Amino acid sequence: MTFGSRLSVLFLVALFVGSGAVALVLAPTGGAFTSAAPPAPAFRLASPLAAPAAAAALTASGHVAPSASSCPTPQNQVIWSDSKFFDDVHVAFAVPGDAALSGSHFQTVPCVNNVPTYTNGFWMNISTNVPITNAYVTIWGWNWPVQADRTPAISGYSPVTPRVLPMIVNHPTRQSAYFYFNVYRFFWPGSTVYFNLSVTSANATPSTVFSADRASGIWDPVFYEGGYTNNATFAFSVAAPFVSSVFQNDINISTSPDIFATPSALPNPFQQLQVTLTSLGPGGVLGLPIPQALLYVSAFGNTTFQNRVVGFGPANHSVMQLLRLLGPWPSTRVFLNITAWLPWEGGAVDRIYSPVFAFNWSSQGGWAFPRGGLESNLLFNTTPNVFPNPGRVTLFTGTPVNVTIHETAENITIHSAQLNFRYSDAAGATAGEFQMRAAGNNTSYAVLPGLPSGGVLTFSVTANDVFGNPTSSGNISYLEAGPLGPVIPAGYGMFFFEAVDIAQTGSLVPALNFTLANDTWSETATANTLGFGAPLPVSGPGYLPVAFGTYTLTVRAFGASQVATFPVVNGTPFTIVFFLTNGPVAASASVPVGSIAAPAVAGLIAAAVVVWPVSNWFKERRAKAEAEQKRISL
């Protein structure tokens, strides 16, 4: 039987096994739910999103404000002798799994009892000292407000015509009775329900007592919602997923770029828009998970029209984002609004609707100061700081430098960025550029590897906006020397290596292919594009310190290879230089034959180095090894 068909049933007998009791529960009449998603409300212009107001101190449907005081059900010793209801009748409640609402803890008005969303139902039990002829519960209430009706009556339990239902009187003494509130079946989340009791005994005076103030009924024709007075003894609200029916009290809307900022950051022609929902709880903390939400958007342009419905996900999370980004739709007028609700028995209840927000999708988005340099348009930083103050900065050997650029305006994005560099040391130099990595639309970065001792790096940054317009920084230069910057464990050392192309005197070979091995392991990799290398970890950035011992290093370039065998005996970093050629060398060139053992110079201790110097450029080196040189023709 579907939920809609169950609502059309006039009477439902529910049997509950417990102390031999049977409860008669009457079902309301009314229409069925629809399983369709809630329709988008008509678009209208709205002011920018205001800061969410504090949650109102109302019940979920906003009809009765729960008191901060305690209003427990009176627990007097009953002797039916007057018209005071709680002196004549003892009332207690049993709410499964919720001791705070059971027994006498169920509150009387003006306090409102908050029943958890998925509570199936609860029992109300009464007893007295005389036989009960009959007892009745009168029930009425309102559902969660919707746009079309701020006070929708509960179907079958209208405040205008409340439903009067009999309690089940226990035999044989007939001094007790009970009633079951089938919450899950008849009272949707967000609803507020009111009720009172009347009990009759043929053996007592007065014969009938009423829990409400007026015996003539629960409504009097004085001003109230709908023109009536609420004459309730008890009230409960079924917990809704939202604090109130006002969207801004329940959910905060934010976008990237921020269309709600002052001034607003309108998305550029190449930029998509993300919308984020954050559930609000008391005191500004995250609220309950948002069950389900949809965004309705329309974009109108001279030649374009977009009308979309996009879901948020994941459902039942306190923070949700669009499953599909919006746009880009440049040069359009965009309207959007959001509906959130609780899926319930195949339908949608507790629906809340945001205002409609309107903005223009920008056709702009280039640099704010196109004629200025990079520092005029972007935040430019390095870690550690290598900007001159006042002269060139010196870092410890092997210290990496993180270079970042950031655009503070969300709707001005960095399309691409390049880092231009020149590296040099005592052996040679190299120059080039590489692309910086994007860390979002507005931030790019590059990590410059740690340098060998004596290495100097000069770099600048060029960034391009979405239209390809470049903006460039000035040159920044720093030196690395001395001990290692990164601390390495005891028993480990670090070395660097590089190769000089003697056909182009002083040019270091970038991206050098190498193999490093000892008697237990080896690795084959490619050195960096700056013209030097070091042992590399299996994964991740940085260098790999190596244990003390003897290593064999083979480098390959231009179809040739060179090999060096050397020891690592302490933690002082050193550099090994290889010499290769990418073309013919002048006839006056000379080279040594085989390997030579260099003395302890600049931290290179007993390192075997293969040297092919050009005579004019390597005069000092050749003089030291003159006894072993001979002239050759290449």
pLDDT tens, 363-377? 999 999 999 999 999
Task: Return the ∠ at Cα 431 (arms to 426 and 436), rounded to 5°.
Answer: 125
pLDDT at residue 303 greater than cutoff 90: no
**Of 215, 242, 269, which residue constitutes the final position of a domain?**
242
500 and 451 assigned to the same domain? no
Count the Cβ atoms, other than its own, within 10 Å of residue 223.
8
pLDDT at residue 449 greater than cutoff 80: yes
CATH number of the domain to which 621 belongs:
2.60.40.180
3 and 128 assigned to the same domain? yes
354 and 402 assigned to the same domain? no
Please report whether residue 549 resides in a domain: yes
CATH number of the domain to which 279 belongs:
2.60.40.10
**Of 198, 220, 242, which residue constitutes the final position of a domain?**
242
Please report whether residue 618 resides in a domain: yes
Please report whether residue 46 resides in a domain: no
pLDDT at residue 14 greater than cutoff 60: no
523 and 556 assigned to the same domain? yes
Domain that holds residue 397: 374-484
340 and 411 assigned to the same domain? no
The residue with tokens 């480990």 is 492
479 and 347 assigned to the same domain? no
Please report whether residue 368 resides in a domain: no
pLDDT tens, 519-557? 899 999 999 999 999 999 988 889 999 999 999 999 999
Per-residue model confidence (pLDDT) at position 214 = 57
156 and 183 assigned to the same domain? yes
**Of 209, 242, 275, which residue constitutes the final position of a domain?**
242
- What's the whole-number average pLDDT of the chain? 80
Confidence of residue 150 (pLDDT cuts 50, 70, 90): confident
Per-residue model confidence (pLDDT) at position 545 = 94
Rg (CA), the chain: 41
Identify the CA nearest to 1 among candidates 32, 45, 44, 26: 32
229 and 269 assigned to the same domain? no
Please report whether residue 369 resides in a domain: no
- Most confident listed range (502-506, 599-603, 628-632): 502-506
Confidence of residue 189 (pLDDT cuts 50, 70, 90): very high
Is the pTM higher than 0.85? The answer reads no
253 and 238 assigned to the same domain? no
Please report whether residue 49 resides in a domain: no
Q: State how many domains the chain has.
A: 4
86 and 207 assigned to the same domain? yes
Those residues with Cβ within 8 angstroms of residue 473's Cβ, 6 or more apart along the chain or in another chain: 373, 374, 375, 380, 460, 461, 462
209 or 615, greater pLDDT: 209
501 and 355 assigned to the same domain? no
Please report whether residue 127 resides in a domain: yes
346 and 423 assigned to the same domain? no
Per-residue model confidence (pLDDT) at position 69 = 61
What are the helix and strand counts (H, E) for the chain? 6, 43
pLDDT tens, 208-244? 999 987 543 344 443 344 455 678 899 999 999 998 8
pLDDT at residue 33 greater than cutoff 80: no
